Amino acid sequence: MVEKHYKEAVLYESIGDKKVHCFLCNWHCRISDGSLGHCNVRKNIGGKLYSLNYNKLCAANSDPIEKKPLFHFLPGSKSFSIAAPGCNFKCDFCQNWHISQIIKAESEIEGEAIEPARLVDFAIREGCKSMAYTYTEPTIFMELAAECGIIAKRKGLANVFVSNGYMTKEAIDFAKDWLDGINVDLKGFSEEYYRNLCKAKLKPVLDTIEYIAKHTKIWMELTTLIVPGQNDSETKLKQIAEFIFNTCGADTPWHISRFYPQFRRTDSEVTPSETLQTAFDIAKQVGLHYVYIGNLRTRKGENTYCPECGHLIIEREGYLIRKNRTKDKLCPDCNEKIAGFAL
């Protein structure tokens, strides 16, 4: 029986014998009648695939866009952030595990039903300039994100994803007409890291990043959480920086984020500040123009500097913009173009 609050899923096909193939993300689940996909929030009912979390909103509030983190996308603005439960990863260090990792059956999904149009109205009333689909993996609530995104776009708002990058090319194409920006977590640079800590694979994430960079106009920034003893070697950090430089270009911002013990990794140490500085220095040596240190207050690690003359462009303190000197996307001192969306 199909519950009235279930929504037929997007991006799937019937493959016979009441089985379906979900090609929303790179697990490419083949789901038998009555079974759930890898994310636990998409179910085959009678040969049709349904989203179980469409009407199960678990977060809706305005955030600084810098919290996503997106530093070159409408800086200083607010983004109305929404999420539904579930995820297609199982990261040992997930900071939002209480809404992403606890689902075992559809009967356990908790959340509130709010119409997409009302969510967009909330965003406008809060003075937000964008909608953010975040906290959990937005791909797994694509139906809700798409409906909100289309309405938001029509009403003059931008749309952004904060994603693990596991979506398919079909999913990117499905969203690219209304999706303006994305922050992709590039969590590490080895299959072993992804397999052991995320229960996932690296290559699909690299493919997603390359596809967005080369085949869409979506503004993209990347984030790497540096976990001590796992993805913090200078070799791996350099490989990430070189991949970003060669695949996405020198103007793609890279956020190097400090790890704090949580969820299943409470016995790990906090990332030393020296490690973050090493990663920052490596990225600059490789040639990346915009590198940021996150989850740690530093004197310069959150600021944007002109890649040509080195002068301060945007001064930040945490999520607050203290100074923004850009004018028509240009450095006021040397007229160098500063990369970004609506700077």
Confidence of residue 265 (pLDDT cuts 50, 70, 90): confident
317: exposed, middle or buried (Cβ count in 10 Å: 0-12, 13-18, 19+): exposed
CB 220 within 8 A of CB 212: yes
pTM for this entry: 0.96
Q: Residue holding tokens 């969820």?
A: 263
Q: How far apart are CA 174 and CA 253, in angstroms?
A: 25
Amino acid at 335: N
Residue 281: strand, helix, or coil: helix
Q: Determine the pLDDT at residue 15.
A: 97
Count Cβ atoms within 10 A of the Cβ of residue 209 and give its class: 0-12 exposed, 13-18 middle, 19 or more buried. Answer: buried
Q: What rounded mean pLDDT belongs to the chain?
A: 95
Residues 41-96: tens digit of each pLDDT? 999 999 999 999 999 999 999 999 999 999 999 999 999 999 999 999 999 998 88
What is the percent of the chain where pLDDT is above 90? 87
4 confidence band (pLDDT: 50, 70, 90)? low
Looking at residue 147, its pLDDT comes to 98
Task: Fill in the DSSP letter of residue 67.
Answer: G
CB 290 within 8 A of CB 72: yes
> 3-state class of 91 per DSSP?
coil
Confidence of residue 2 (pLDDT cuts 50, 70, 90): low
Assess contact for 53 and 39: CB atoms under 8 A: no
**Domain annotation for the chain: domains and CATH numbers:** 7-51 (no CATH), 59-324 (3.20.20.70)
Of the pLDDT bands very low, low, confident and very high (cuts 50, 70, 90), residue 297 is: confident
